[in-house]
Structure 1
Amino acid sequence: MSHIDIRRTHGRPLKEAKAAIERVAEHLAEKFDVEYGWEGNTLAFTRGGVDGHIAVSSKEVHVTAQLGFLLGAIKGPIEREIHQYLDREFG
């Protein structure tokens, strides 16, 4: 199993950061067919072969995911895609 662990600091208020992560989740859901939902300040997402969370605080976004065997083979492109979405939303 492959693991993704990405941390990104930001200077947005928590409400704005959560809205930005909601947009990131919408992109990921469209691109990778994941289901997601909020649990407090953590967005959980899942689909066959992936289980992850995006924790949002007033200072940081922390993306973690466990990738199954098949998706683990394309871990690099998945990480790049996540970084691109975070770059768009948090600059």
Structure 2
Amino acid sequence: MAKIDIRRPHGKTIAEARAVVDKVAARMNEKLGTEGGWQGDTFQFARSGVKGAIAVSPADVHVTAELGMLLSPMKGMIENEIRQKLDEHFA
């Protein structure tokens, strides 16, 4: 299993950062079929072949994920997409 671990600092309030994560999660659900929900300040998501979390703190957003065998070869492409979305929403 390939693992993804990315942190991105932000200048938003927790509520603002959570609102962004909600929008991103809705898009992931629509595009990738993930399901998930909030546990405290961490949005946990999963679908066949991937499970992960997006943790929001006052200082940063922390994305972690474990990719199954079929998605592991695409780790680099997936990491790039995550970084791009983090830059887009939290830069």
TM-score (norm 1): 0.93
The residue aligned with 2:63 is: 63
Contact 1:35–1:46 (Cα < 8 Å) also in 2:
yes
Identity %: 53
TM-superposed deviation, 1:31: 2.3
Tell me, what secondary structure is at the counterpart of 1:27? helix
Tell me, what secondary structure is at the counterpart of 1:70? coil
Matched, 1:75 2:87: no
TM-superposed deviation, 1:59: 0.6
Runs of 4+ in 1 over 3 A off after TM superposition: none
Tell me, what secondary structure is at the counterpart of 1:73? helix
Q: Which amino acid aligns with 2:65?
A: A
TM-superposed deviation, 1:78: 1.2
TM-score (norm 2): 0.93
TM-superposed deviation, 1:30: 2.2
Contact 1:9–1:59 (Cα < 8 Å) also in 2:
yes
Q: Which amino acid aligns with 1:41?
A: D
RMSD of aligned Cα (Å): 1.0
Q: Structure 1: 5+ residue runs without aligned partners?
A: none
In 2, Cα distance between equivalents of 1:82 and 1:31: 14
In 1, Cα distance between equivalents of 2:27 and 2:80: 13
Q: Structure 2: 5+ residue runs without aligned partners?
A: none
Contact 1:24–1:89 (Cα < 8 Å) also in 2:
no
Matched, 1:22 2:22: yes
In 1, Cα distance between equivalents of 2:87 and 2:25: 14
1:41-86 Cα distance to aligned partner (Å, 9 max, x none): 0000000011101110111100000100001111111111111221
